[in-house]
Structure 1
Amino acid sequence: MSNRRSFLKKSAVLGMGAFGADSIFSQLHAKSFESAEKLWNPAGDNEQYWSVIQDAYTASKSEILILNNGGVSPSPLAVQKALDVYNKTAAQGPSYYMWRVMDKGREPLRQRLATLGGCDPEEIAINRNATEALNTIIFGLPLQKGDEVIGTKFDYPNMMNAWRQRQLRDGIVYKQLSFDFPIENDDEIVKAYEEAITPQTKIIHITHIVNWVGQIMPVKKISQMARRRGIEVIVDGAHSFALLDFKIPDLECDYFGTSLHKFLSAPVGSGMMWIKKDKIAKIWPLVCNHEPTSADIRKFETLGTRSFCIEQAIGEAINFQEGIGTKRKQERVHYLKKYWAEKALQIPGVKIHTSLKPEYSCAIAGVSIEGLKPTELDSKLFNDFKIHTVGISYESVQCVRVTPHVYTKLSDLDRFVGALEKIAKKV
């Protein structure tokens, strides 16, 4: 009888996926989230509410304090369990369960991702990460020798390397701007892009949130400027999607790629690409398709055999996201960043390399201690205090990147600030 009940429950999860009434999120978290909502006070202390969210992440109980969620975020328990169910089921017969059962869940997932992104499902392709999404666009664009692309020295390395490869292979001109972040003036940034434009400029590549130091770039303003000049815009939204409260079409860009294993907390190895509908046909797929010039967004999903289990578990991450709300999430994560950064600024020798204003940064902030290299500070934080960050020494950026998430507790950040203070006293 027990085995029969287990089989029926598993069949319900596979049959309805994350979006049925019996989703794993509903089983594990719906009641606690509903109770927590009653604790919410728009004008007051909401730590009781956030403690419920924190408890839904097993990582909140780890002995290692994870403050590199900008790299990859842990998943909440509902996502972990969903992935476990899908993996165990697929292992009993991958060719059946993956291709004939789980594969049917892609269209409902596409619909829900589109709802989260505020766009048409026919503009969404599901893939494995922002690198794959953006490389598909970069290598798929019909650019010719002499065509110019404007990016920056602070874009993500995999994207810079993709443009350099196109430069080597096709003779395009790849121009990179440099900025002295933090910048609290949108017009200064927009002007820098505009002044770099020539009659040969075809593409502007923008990183929505600069991964090195957390600067939020004025994407919409740059896109509007570019459109007036007949230039297309690609946006790297790896650090912004499911964190900042926006809809993709509101950015007024032409192309957008993101990873879902960062702030959406989906399984590692999940991503999404958005292409404006009238641009789809002209983009060549990165991996072959039988109709490469089709206007069907699905031509970008012929990736061969990959983990359908990871793909389907994204649905539970969407449930979790919607249980909190993106606006509330953005405000909380910015509060966490500002909470520790303002305390850290009171420590002699400590410098913050990121704006603390919500319009210019959210989760990510850079910190340094005078007299220590970023790698030295990063090592001391982990070896002496079991705090995981990432040291960055790149161009003008010399700092440790710190990124909390919704499961991060205020006491965790007090622990981090205390560690900074102890380290600074010994320098």
Structure 2
Amino acid sequence: MNNRRSFFKKTAALGLGAFGSDSLFNQLHSEQFREAEQLWDDDSQSNEAYWNVIQDAYTASKSEIIILNNGGVSPSPLVVQEALEKYNKVAAQGPSYYMWRIMDKGREPLRQRLAGLAGCDPEEIAINRNATEALNTVIFGLPLQKGDEVIGTVQDYPNMMHAYKQREMRDGIVYKQISFDFPIEDDDQIVKAYEAAITPRTRIVHVTHIINWVGQIMPVKKIAQMAHKKGIEVVVDGAHTFGLLDYKIPDLECDYFGTSLHKFLSAPVGSGMMWVKKDKIENIWPLVCNSEPKSKNIRKFETLGTRSFCIEQAIGEAINFQEGIGTRRKQERIHFLKKYWAGQAVQIPGVKLHTSLKPEYSCAIAGVSIDGMKPEELDSRLMKDYRIHVVGMNYANIHCVRVTPHVYTKTSDLDKLVGALRDIAKKA
């Protein structure tokens, strides 16, 4: 009986979850992170002793293969894995009670913490499952009419392009795509390309904050300022920037934003977030039915039916982990790792880099190719012969392998990547 009472007492606190003083992060890492902070040297270029502590917090750092496709989905640190396991075990005792009546109370504290990380009003944040769901909600919810134009690019994420094309087929909107040859180290060139495509019928400009194929950082704020002067709204795909780049969503000056939390925030797989500027919420139809579809309440976008509340609540520990490091420090580290390997690789005869090395134009993601090899061939060779996991990109005018390190990536792993590229290039 005492054990049962203890269990109920613990589950009653699940509403606080990661947001109380007894969070798993505090239990597992607070002391470690305090000690690691003593190792930090502001004058150091790498601070490897500090980052060793962070690496050890990820089980992926001990994987039998070198994971360099974190742009697809990032592994979670151990504390997030354990949080998810804890919530799943509790939910399994009776999902209809523990999920709907206990864990569901944790969504509002989570909304507050996500808003803090995003630098916005909690009433502008909806919690869902990924960037596709967030942005498709906006794309299909926009009150566009036949003949209204949307401007995107050939290099946007496929699921967003497909959504606009479906609206084109269904509603008669006009979906226009411009194209870029990356890397580009000139913001004005990019902004002018969008501006040149605008006509009096243009209603929406869609911008991918970091191009998923090759890692180009787009000048979102400058594009948004240009578009707003013409009365055009801006949708931003932030799938690869939230939890990576040090910014607040309102800084972008966009109207709509969606992201996946299971990328650089390292939250559980199947977690995402959408942001809608408060005065725009009323105009967007929810993707899934709601009893008040024209409501000004951001929660109308969360009526997804039964889904994993356990995943939602484990996001909190990912936020704790993120804040334990600091977003600016994290951004600088991951850019350092990208430049560490790419700066060496570009010196290898026959190797071509498809991404800028400047921090204002790229961060984590970089594309690389070897003369005479198809991307899928290089992808296969790296896995088969060197146990290095990347992803081949063979699409439109982009033909390369995408390499994406994370904070748990060791420089020794990147040395192996550079050595592998050197060996393969010699034999190509």
TM-score range, shorter chain: over 0.9
Cα deviation per residue 1:91-110 (whole Å; 9 max; x = unaligned)? 11000000010000000000
Q: Which amino acid aligns with 1:109?
A: L
- Greater shift in the superposed pair: 15-24 or 328-337: 15-24
For residue 313 of structure 1, what is the aligned residue in structure 2? 314
Query: Could you state the TM-score of these two structures normalised by the residue count of structure 1?
Result: 0.98
For residue 27 of structure 1, what is the aligned residue in structure 2? 27
Cα deviation per residue 1:361-420 (whole Å; 9 max; x = unaligned)? 000000001111000000000011110000010111110000000000000100111111
Cα deviation per residue 1:217-236 (whole Å; 9 max; x = unaligned)? 00000000001000000000
- Greater shift in the superposed pair: 384-393 or 15-24: 15-24
Contact (CA 8 Å) 1:352, 1:366: kept in 2 or not?
Answer: yes
SS of 1:398's partner is: strand
Contact (CA 8 Å) 2:378, 2:392: kept in 1 or not?
Answer: yes
Take 2:341 and 2:143, find their aligned partners in 1: how far apart are those partners?
A: 46
Take 1:13 and 1:359, find their aligned partners in 2: how far apart are those partners?
A: 43
Q: CA deviation at 1:12?
A: 7.0
For residue 236 of structure 2, what is the aligned residue in structure 1? 235
Q: Which amino acid aligns with 2:76?
A: S
For residue 84 of structure 2, what is the aligned residue in structure 1? 83
Q: Which amino acid aligns with 1:31?
A: E
1:156 aligns with 2:157: yes
Identity of aligned residues (%): 79
Q: Which amino acid aligns with 2:27?
A: Q
After superposition, where does 1:312-351 map in structure 2 within 5 Å? 312-351=313-352
Take 1:48 and 1:209, find their aligned partners in 2: how far apart are those partners?
A: 30
Take 1:15 and 1:383, find their aligned partners in 2: how far apart are those partners?
A: 46
Q: CA RMSD in A?
A: 1.4
Cα deviation per residue 1:11-42 (whole Å; 9 max; x = unaligned)? 37624210100101111111100100111111
Take 1:333 and 1:5, find their aligned partners in 2: how far apart are those partners?
A: 46
Q: CA deviation at 1:9?
A: 8.4
For residue 191 of structure 1, what is the aligned residue in structure 2? 192
Cα deviation per residue 1:245-289 (whole Å; 9 max; x = unaligned)? 000000000000000000000000000000000000010000000
Q: CA deviation at 1:189?
A: 0.2
Take 1:200 and 1:102, find their aligned partners in 2: how far apart are those partners?
A: 46
After superposition, where does 1:20-419 map in structure 2 within 5 Å? 20-44=20-44, 45-419=46-420
For residue 18 of structure 2, what is the aligned residue in structure 1? 18
Judged with a 3 Å threshold, the aligned counterparts in structure 2 of structure 1 residues 8 and 58 are, in CA distance, closer, same or farther, namely: farther
Contact (CA 8 Å) 1:387, 1:416: kept in 2 or not?
Answer: yes
Matched residues, number? 427
Judged with a 3 Å threshold, the aligned counterparts in structure 2 of structure 1 residues 346 and 292 are, in CA distance, closer, same or farther, namely: same
Q: Which amino acid aligns with 1:422?
A: D
Judged with a 3 Å threshold, the aligned counterparts in structure 2 of structure 1 residues 370 and 331 are, in CA distance, closer, same or farther, namely: same
SS of 1:151's partner is: strand
Q: Which amino acid aligns with 1:26?
A: N
Contact (CA 8 Å) 1:83, 1:310: kept in 2 or not?
Answer: yes
Take 2:379 and 2:21, find their aligned partners in 1: how far apart are those partners?
A: 45
Take 1:173 and 1:16, find their aligned partners in 2: how far apart are those partners?
A: 46
Take 1:2 and 1:304, find their aligned partners in 2: how far apart are those partners?
A: 35
Cα deviation per residue 1:193-231 (whole Å; 9 max; x = unaligned)? 001000000000000000000000000000000010000
Take 2:290 and 2:343, find their aligned partners in 1: how far apart are those partners?
A: 52
SS of 1:250's partner is: helix
SS of 1:143's partner is: coil
- In structure 2, stretches of 5+ residues that fail to align are none
Take 1:15 and 1:158, find their aligned partners in 2: how far apart are those partners?
A: 34
Judged with a 3 Å threshold, the aligned counterparts in structure 2 of structure 1 residues 28 and 145 are, in CA distance, closer, same or farther, namely: same
SS of 1:313's partner is: helix
Judged with a 3 Å threshold, the aligned counterparts in structure 2 of structure 1 residues 259 and 338 are, in CA distance, closer, same or farther, namely: same
Q: CA deviation at 1:3?
A: 5.5
- Greater shift in the superposed pair: 135-144 or 2-11: 2-11
Cα deviation per residue 1:279-309 (whole Å; 9 max; x = unaligned)? 0001000000000000000000000000000
Greater than 3 Å deviation, 4+ residue runs: 1-13
SS of 2:16's partner is: helix
Contact (CA 8 Å) 2:127, 2:273: kept in 1 or not?
Answer: yes
Contact (CA 8 Å) 1:13, 1:24: kept in 2 or not?
Answer: no
Query: Could you state the TM-score of these two structures normalised by the residue count of structure 2?
Result: 0.98
Q: Which amino acid aligns with 1:20?
A: G
